[in-house]
Structures are given as structure tokens and as C-alpha cells.
Amino acid sequence: MSDTEGDSAAEGNAAYGKKSFKRSKSHFSDRVTADGRDGWPVEAGRYRLVVSRACPWASRAVISRRLLGLEEALPMAITDPIQDDRSWRFTLDPGGLDPVLGIRYLAEAYEAREPGHPGGVSVPAVVDVPSGRLVTNDYQQLTLDLATEWRDLHREGAPDLYPEALRDEIDEVAAGVYEDVNNGVYRAGFATGQKEYAAACEGVFGRLELLSQRLARRRYLVGDTITEADIRLFTTLVRFDAVYHGHFKCNRHKLTEDQVLWAYARDLYQTPGFGDTVDFDHIKRHYYQVHEGINPTRIVPLGPELSGWLTSHGREELGGRPFGDGSPPGPVPEGEEVPPAGRP
């Protein structure tokens, strides 16, 4: 996994056994843009977004796509949360084949792009449907491009997730969230040295304390609407008690024990486009069954209790407009609903 690359269990397991966890650099960082300057122009229906609902990096793209109304323009494939030695696979689809790409493993799209490529096979990934080739796995840039380069294909009333006037502040906040929270939980979880684990864990909770203080007086991280910064923090918070608290030993306290962050996370979860993309079943089974270096028994815990995600949060009192001058997304498209096993 890398600074610009999503989840790859093989690399995560390989990292276990080293004292500290470090992400490698992304190998495929092409961009799909309005002017097609990398050779990949924005075009409705041309590309397929491959994700795992278990992966926090992929979940950013799933949430952004839904909030912006890009479901028809950018169709989505959902992989099995459990990987084998060839990584992400399409065993949730009939016959174990992605119905559009016609492949069993995401690795086949990587190989079509560059045979024998270095590095792991990660999600999110954008695949060019006509050629079957991987376009990009640069999850950091992907959601920014969905918000900006894909604007002509946004739904009517789509929010501005990366407003130009706030980009410097969003980038600054998101950088701290990434270093200490998004990636910090992994550095704590995969550390095999006490010193390295302690430093990562302290970084996680130090940053969470700062974020809690910031959010005590404002509904959203930057400005008065939902932005890219909120999406990036949410995907870690929603997994915190389910996997990071126990599995990654980030157990100074639970999310539910921080009054501000727990209310903030519930507020977002109950906002259309957030909670309706979260599959707790996929999340738990992936982390506990794939990371065998951390959990060799592969036992998936029964808890935590999830009903609290649907309780009142009271954050409306802080004001703010979730979608700015826009509107919430419509119903979840048929076939993309989270199964009952993954919901509170």
C-alpha cells in the first residue's frame, strides 16, 4: 500500500514482521480528466470503478461517486472482501466473473496494463472497459478528480466537495488526517516493535483530540458544508470501533467514548451517501480474516453493537448545510444496496 495506493492485503501482511509500516509509492497514477491530457478523457460509461466495501481508501470513492450522482456515468464493481493469493476477486458475481470486464481477478486488469508490474493489486481502481486495462489506482487524486474533472456529469444539485476557495484549508486538514489517522491506524496495527507501535498510537489519538476540539464548535471540518476532508475522516471513524480499536490495538478509547467525534460520525453516517455505502460485515470479515499476521485464528468478533449509529446526534444545532446549495442524492441504485448483514 502506498501514499497514493489503496488496500492490498498482500503488502499489509508482508509489512507485518517489520518494526514499522511504510507505504510504497503508487505505480499507476494516470488521471481521468475533462481534457484527457493523460490519454483518458472523462466519458460516461467508459470506465468501471472497482472497489471493496471493506477498504477505507475505496470507500472514499464510493461515497464521492454517490454524493455527486455519478452512478450511471461511472459504473461500479464490488469485490469479495476476502482476498486470496491473487488479491481482489469477483466471487460475489455470478460465475465469479465481473459481468462487464469479464475477469475473475482485478489483477487481470493490472496485467493488461503492464505485464509483470511491480507492487500489489489495490482498490480503488479505475479500469478502461473497452481495453480492459487499469487506468489508475491513485485513490488520493481519484476523489478530487471526481469532484472537479467529472463536473459536467454530476447530478443536478450535486454538492461541491472541493470548493476552490477552501482547497488550501481542505488540503491542510486532510494531510493531518491522513498522516495520523487514516494511515496512523495502519502504522499502529502493523507495527512489530513497541516503540513504533506506541508512536503511531499516540499520533492517532493526539490527532483525534485535535479534531474533536475543532468539531466541538463546527459541524463540518472545513466551511459549513460537507467536503472532501469529511469524507476522508469518516471512512476511518466508521471502522474505528469495529476493527481499529481491537484489531489494530488503537485502544486508548473507543470512538463511542468521544462525545464530539461519535456525534459527528453519526451525523455523517445518517446523511444520504455515507451510511448507505457502509457494509460492516465486509469490513469486519476483511480485516479479521485477511490480516493473518495480526489475527492468525481468523476469528471475526461478534461485536460491537451497531444500533447506536442510528441514534440522534444533535449536530444540527451547530448549523451548517450538508449539501450547500444543492440537495441530497436519490435512492441507492438497484444492485448497490448494502445487504442487511452489513447494516445496523
Alpha-carbon distance of 21 to 294, in angstroms, equals 13
Q: Compute the C-alpha angle 66/72/73, nearest 5°.
A: 95
Annotated ligand binding at 262? The verdict is no
Residues in the chain: 344
3-state helix, strand, coil in the chain (%, to 5): 45, 10, 50
Can you tell me the distance from the alpha carbon of 341 to that of 344, in angstroms, rounded to the nearest whole number?
8
Report CA Rg, the chain.
Answer: 19
Q: How far apart are CA 200 and CA 16, in angstroms?
A: 15
> What type of residue sits at position 5?
E
DSSP assignment string, 204-265:
HHHHHHHHHHHHTS-SSSSTTS--HHHHHHHHHHHHIIIIITTTT---SS-GGGSHHHHHHH
Encoded amino acid at 165, one letter: A
Distance between CA 159 and CA 70 in Å, rounded? 12
Give the Cα separation of 319 and 321 in Å (integer). 7
Residue 175 near residue 140 (C-beta atoms within 8 A): no
As a whole number of angstroms, the distance between CA 178 and CA 303 comes to 26
> Residues with catalytic annotation?
55, 186
Q: Which residues are annotated as a binding site for glutathione?
A: 88
